[in-house]
Structure 1
Amino acid sequence: MPASRKPVRQGPSLIVCLLIIIVNRRSVKTTIVNFYLGGLSMSSNEEYIAPDEVKNALALLDKEEVSSKKRLLTFSNQWHSVIKEIDSVNQQFSSLDSIKSNLCQIETRIQDSSKLAEDISSKVRQLDKIRGRVSECQKRVQDLLDLQLCSEGVQIAMKNDELEKAAAHVHRYLSIDQTKLQRTADDMAQDCSMITSSLKHLQNATDHLQNTVSKRFDQASLIQDQKSIERYFKIFPLLGMHDVGLSKFVAYLGRILKNTADKSLKNVIDTSISSNRASIVFADGLTFLFEEVAKTIEVQQPLIETHYGPDYIVQFMSQLQVHCDTFSNDILTAFLKTRKVKELLKTMWDESDPNIEKPDSKDIDLLIEEIVLILARYDLYAKFVNKHINVELESKSSTAKSFLINSKLCCSIQELMGRYLEFERYYMEESIKKAILMDTLEGDEALTSSMVDDVFFIIRKCVMRSLRSGSLDLLCAVINNAINALETDLCTFFSQVLNSGYPGSGYFNRFTPDLEKIRQTFLASLNNTEVAIEYSRSLAQTFKEEIPLKLKDCNMEKLDSCLSDFSRVNTLLVTANKNGFKQLQNSLIEPKIQAWVEQFYEYSYKMSESEFSQMEADNPFVQNIILQVDNIFKEFKNKLTSNNYDVFVVAIAIETSVQLEKVIMKTEFNRLGGMSLDKVVRTLINYFSGASAWPVREKFSRLVQVTTVLNLEQVSDLNEFLSPDSGMCFAWKLTPDNIRQILKLRFDFREEDIRKIKL
């Protein structure tokens, strides 16, 4: 064991502490006994401790003494194991000393290695610096050698008129850092004249070669020598004349495009009106120009990428676009003039002079087709331009799009789009008005007129036509115009017809001319609204499915927001349909049902047994109502659509229930009369349930509650329907006043009993 470590002896100290506790407990015990014995001699004024309390305290101390002895014995038995653990810990402390020694040695070695690495690193940096200087020196020597070779080579090449070789030597000369050459000349004072002479000669050769190549390119472009033009075009970048060469080359290509565009424009203007393509001849001319520009880009792009680099593709296309703008604007200007676009736009919306003849929608339709074709061709051209931008030039892609967006051609196309929207809106509105004016019913059995199919065909045609332009903004604008046209023309027409009312069979209606035609028109409009609602929903869903498939990069959020406006049309159509049924109910349903139900007064409902039995066998009142209602159902079943017919049946059921309740509230009943009425109501419910595909039982729920009250055997039986614990409680649609009033209809119920009912 090392001398620095002292042995730990914790076990004996613990045992000694326990012994002290036991001794102290015994002294306490002795003290208590002495206190008790001594307490006998205390004065009577002091308080005495009872002997029982002393005995209890001694008993507790004895128990604690026994338990303490047991714990002391347990600790003494564990003494050897504690000693072993202490020795084990001492051994582990000894191993830590050796670890500490090893760590100190490692620390020393790491410090030595770090110092050595720093020394080596500084020497490496010095070597890198020296190597850089050597490399620079070698490059200077190589530049001097190349300078001499270029100076000699350019002289020979110029004498032999080998412009390519001369340009290659000049290109090598231009790639050498002139500052380093001058610094080398200053350092080599003994041979400075040679370097200065070579530099001067090469600079003169460069100027001469640039002028020569530029002049020869101009001469070749005048005579359109394609081979020479391509030859000199390749030399320009070797002489550092990228911009000059590209500008001259694009100017040459522009002259070629001008000749092509002039011929195309002449052919367009000279095209006969009787030609099959006379209506789209300007679109053909513009398409031909776009194809020529696209062909030029495809042919020349590899040449420019090879000799000028990919960075000059965007510059080449932007310069070529300037020529394309000029020639395409000439065609578009001729188009606007020949088709008299400005005059048509002024005539279409001029309301100052009613005598001015409006342009025919068919002629406008042909013009719109040509405009859409022009927009579609421009969209293809724009996609071609974006596609042929080098994918490696991601930073240039925005520049490419900006030069096309900011071009004159794009501005002209945007103006043409605005004119197209005006023409399309005019065509749409005029065609819808024509469809309304030419509305017909195909045969007597037709439920709807031709108007709805024609209007929604026109809407679909205009929207799908705008889709060919490739512009989502233009498409959304046409959809908005279509929705406005449906609201202002179609929905307004339906509202006017249906609000005018359905002529009934009254005395004054007999003198109305064309009464049957007015009724037929009203019912057809009622059916048209129901069909138009379905068409509107279907058309919006069709656009939502088809447009993303045909329009690339379609913004679905924008499209959904635009198509959601069809809900406004649906709302107006639903409102018109409801107003139509309201008019039908006021003029037809309500008067007829009221007349049929008034026959209820012809029968007494204070029945005897025999009268009740007779009414059970054959109730003429309910049979007459069913017969009359059945006749009107047969009359309108073939005049209304299935959905409208169901609405019609429900409307008659509701009106029957309302009118029957009115006459019931003016009639007196006995128990048998109430039972007979219950049979009448149930017969009507069963009849109407079978006549309609829609549930109608709920429409009679109030009337059923009326018959329930009238069928009570005695007034107190009503408590069974009012108590929530009876199992017969239901949602009352009758107010407490209604129930009391109905109870009073039973002439056999006493007023006192009715007042006692708690409602």
Structure 2
Amino acid sequence: MSTNHSSVKILNENVDQLTKYEDMVKAYEDLTIEEGCTEVQLRPRPKSGFFFKSGPGRIWWPDLGPDLVAGFRAGFKRLSTFKNQRVDAELDELLKSRNELEAKMQSLHPILPGLQAVENDSKQLSDMITFTSSLAENVSSKVRQLDLAKNRVMLCLQRVEDILDLKFCTDGVQTALHDEDYEKAAAHIHRFLTLDEDILRMSADANEGSTLDTSFKLLHEAQTKLKSIVHGKFDSAVRSGDVASVERFFKTFPLIGENEAGLVKFSKYLCSQLSDVTEKKVTQALQTAPSDKRYNVIFSDAATILFEDVARAVEIHQPLVETYYGHGLLLTLVRHLQNECDRQVRRIVCQFKDTRNFDKKIQLIQQQQNAFQKQVNERVEPREADVLLAEVAIFSTRTELYMRFLRRRCFNDLEVAFQDEEVLKNKKAEVDQLLNGCELSTFIQEFIGGYITMEEYFMKQMVAKAISMDQRALSSSNVDCVCAMLNHACALLERDYADVLFSRLRAGYTTGFDSIAQAYNLVQSTLVAGRGINTDAETEKAKALFLAALNNVEVSIENTQTLKSNVQLEINTLYANSCLNDLNQVTNRLKEISTFGFNQLIANSIRQRIKPLIDSFSSVNHNLTEEEFSQYEASDPWVQNLICNIDNLLVTFRTSLTPSNYDQFVSHLSNEVTALLEKVVLKTTFNRLGGLQFDKEIRSLVGYLTSTTTWTIRDKFARLNQMATILNLEKVAEVLDYWGGNSGPLTWRLTPADVRHVLSLRYDFKSDDIKRLKL
């Protein structure tokens, strides 16, 4: 029994010790025992002992049996050892940076004496800023108060001036109406309308209220009376044809707030004037006798007269509308004038159709072109169709010019009046809707439809006639007849046809203004006339005409040679051959014109675009180091830019010229490039690497130009290639390996003087060595 009691006592003591050490172990739960160990926890393992849990792993601790306390002491010792090791490692880490920290502390010692001064200055600056801020706040608050007071004083003065103006207008309008000085009365009403009646009533005191009411009543009555007078006077002036009075009262409408009414009345007046004058002119034009040389175009002439009168009315009265009514209202005037124009055009078109039998002829042509239609008895003669086509074409041209004039005038007026893009876009859409939806546009569309049908018929008839006439002279079996026709053909081609082509090419390939003075004069003239500058369309048209003439020359040369070959197959006599030789003269003349045209193209357009690109060669360094040479190889500073610009230039001509003319153009361009580049190269200095770079540039340029044409280009760069070869030499004497008898198949394009000049471009070659060369 005593033994059991003592065993229980020992067990209780062990439990107490276990609890004590367990508490001590729990105090080290964040202790790192090994790498990766973030948690240490001791807990009993049933029936087998204890283990440590550390992260995902476990450290086994065997069952100590009776010596449990000793085991816990050993475990605690090990935990203490681990903690001490960690603390030692941290201390070692801190001690490593001791020297650095001491050095930094030493560097701070010289600064310490100045910190007190900095602190004092900072406090002083802070006090000064605080004082300045307070002072500024006080001043700004007073300024705001003064500004508020000033604004109120200005408002008071404005109210006083408005009240004085109101009284002045009240007295002045009565006097002006009595004296029938309607312009002055309208000016008083206009001033009254600019006043804010509600604000004046609010700012007036009780004593002045009745006076203001009286003034407002009198002015409203005067406004109503003046409106009635102005409307009546304007109508009377229109009926009597008093132009001066019409314009006088037209200027009065906006002063009395009748802008829209004034514009409508004035537009109707202009329409009546236009109707009377134009109707007389159109009637006179339509009464032209059939024997008159203008009889075939009397209807297009009548339409032209109508368009000119409408355009003149717009041009004359636009400044009047803009001055007295403001910008943005011209469309109202144009709308009424266009309605009158449509009415007059309707009359002209109806008479045109009746007189020319336009609809009937279109119907006959459609019947003839219908393969399923039976043969008709009537047919339209090509001569009649030619006359109708010419008149319809003139009618369409005049209409397009007229529409373009109205659109430009309205757009210019709207662009001044409206700055908002969306509003401006909507207003321009109104203009387009007016012009595209008017009766004139409808008539033109109808005419163009008939024109296309008739033009197709006319072309077919002309082709059929040309085919029937093709062999007529040869079929006469008369050599004299054939030779006479050949002589006439040569004379026409050389004298008339060639001269027309030459005159078009002589005008040159327009690229813009020839000088600043020309551009300035054009701007001044267009501003004075009130027109917009429209040079882009004219320039593009001139370019197209030039290139078309150049293509026509090339095709004409081919056709002339074909004509000669075909006639030679039919006739083989000495007399006829002598006549055919005249066709050679025509061909030579056309070739001269072609050469002249290309020279004009190069001189007027190409040279001024290519020369700056070539001249930039002199700004590129060709005395290269190895590093610079490598950089040039990766990104060439000159030739790639030149090739890119030449390619952009060629794109504009590739689709506009015939294939033969395009090849010839590339050839002329290559000649220009080589001539300009040779001049620039002879003014540049090189070393051997620079010469090698120049050789690469020439090869790149030749390769590109060769790829753009079917003609040979390499021979045009022969001199530049030989210059590149010379600039690549290591020594002066090496040139003899390529010169004279050693040249082999190479034909030198450079003279001995040229060779010496190129050698002198190498700054590392001595002039004495160059002079001693025996070339």
User: What TM-score, normalized to structure 1?
Assistant: 0.47
Question: Whose relative contact order is higher, 1 or 2, with alpha carbons under 8 Å and at least 6 apart?
Answer: 1
Q: Indicate the structure (1 or 2) with the bigger Cα radius of gyration.
A: 1
Relative to the length of structure 2, the TM-score reads 0.46
